[in-house]
Homo-oligomer: A and B are copies of this chain.
């Protein structure tokens, strides 16, 4: 152990340069893999780095170079596996690009989102990927643009002047409705919950249009509790209107899982005398019984797309805004059946 074991004894680029008998500028070039420096010199510098246990100081580099190799990611909720998967996709491509993600949770609250966004700017992120909190104003995005902060919207969009990565929710709804209609269902409910945002509207609209296209009534939209645990006991809400549905499409799989339990508790047979379709196709869909038919939105892929959009945006800040909207896919399993006499 070297004698100078006080904290300040950080090994600096100058130390490396001296050890390797080159100037600091040359050492800097070696680090940044510049082709300007000869193979032998490079090897000498690299060995010096190893011997001294040199650690590159991004902070110092960023100050001069105006690049932090850091991207901010803001999600509404880490606890929801759906966002965790999105995050996973983002992290993978950001990491592969040699950058690092700074994570924050907005709690789907615009004030929190404000704070967190400011903190990201203070930390000098090169750009941010965020799932806009419900209620985010266009004005907020325009402010960010004015600040020259490279930005991409994920899952939800507020302004088409900013890059966006999402899935075609409306088309997904169409797939769900078409599947049920082909099984003979006419009275189909739509179970929703959570905050209102673009992805919410797109699903509702998708449902409405698909129903209308089939000549069916789209009036049966029922609101479920936001708390996961309370959904099963709210299943009866589906049957309180004048018309009794024979099937339900869910806003997401969290609702579908809950209703699957709740409908069973009510004595209905999901996949038998009642049909159920989820949305998102989370891992659990395949592991419950009956297996859940669900529309896959592939959040990991959306995350990867969002990260790629940001990377592109960093290299070309002036390019026109882009949208990457992936197709959804209906995974047919066991929770739907042909229309039956409504259970009584």
Contact = CB atoms under 8 A, between A and B. Distances in A.
Given A105-B92, A231-B287, A289-B264, A58 B257 contact: no
Contact of A122 (B55, B120, B122): B55
A84 B95 contact: no
Interface in A40-69: 53, 55-60, 62-63, 66, 68-69
A287 B233 CA distance: 10
B229 A257 contact: no
Contacts of A68: 59
A301 interface: no
B118 A55 contact: yes
Contacts of A95: 104-105, 116
Nearest to A72: B100
Interface in A57-116: 57-60, 62-63, 66, 68-70, 73, 78-79, 81, 84-85, 87-88, 91-92, 95, 100-105, 116
A59 B62 contact: yes
A343 interface: no
A161 interface: no
A217 interface: no
B91 A78 contact: yes
**Count of identical protomers in the assembly:** 2
Interface residues of A, number: 60
Given A100-B102, A287-B229, A124 B84 contact: no
A154 B104 CA distance: 20
B123 A59 contact: yes
B91 A104 contact: yes
A70 B72 CA distance: 13
Contacts of A264: 289
Contacts of A58: 122-124
Given A228-B287, A283-B229, A84 B79 contact: yes
B283 A261 contact: no
Contact of A70 (B123, B257, B284, B300): B123
Contacts of A85: 78-79
A53 B56 CA distance: 31
A209 interface: no
Given A100-B104, A103-B101, A122-B56, A78 B87 contact: yes
A201 interface: no
A118 B66 CA distance: 21
Contact of A124 (B57, B148, B288): B57
A160 interface: no
Contacts of A286: 228-229
Nearest to A81: B81
Interface in A217-232: 228-229, 231-232
Given A53-B147, A56-B122, A257-B288, 20 more contacts: A1-B146, A55-B118, A57-B122, A59-B68, A63-B63, A69-B123, A70-B102, A78-B84, A78-B87, A91-B103, A92-B105, A100-B103, A100-B119, A228-B283, A228-B286, A231-B287, A232-B287, A257-B287, A264-B289, A265-B289
> Which 8 pairs across A and B sit closest by C-beta, in order of nearness?
A84-B84, A78-B88, A103-B103, A81-B81, A56-B122, A59-B124, A58-B123, A58-B122
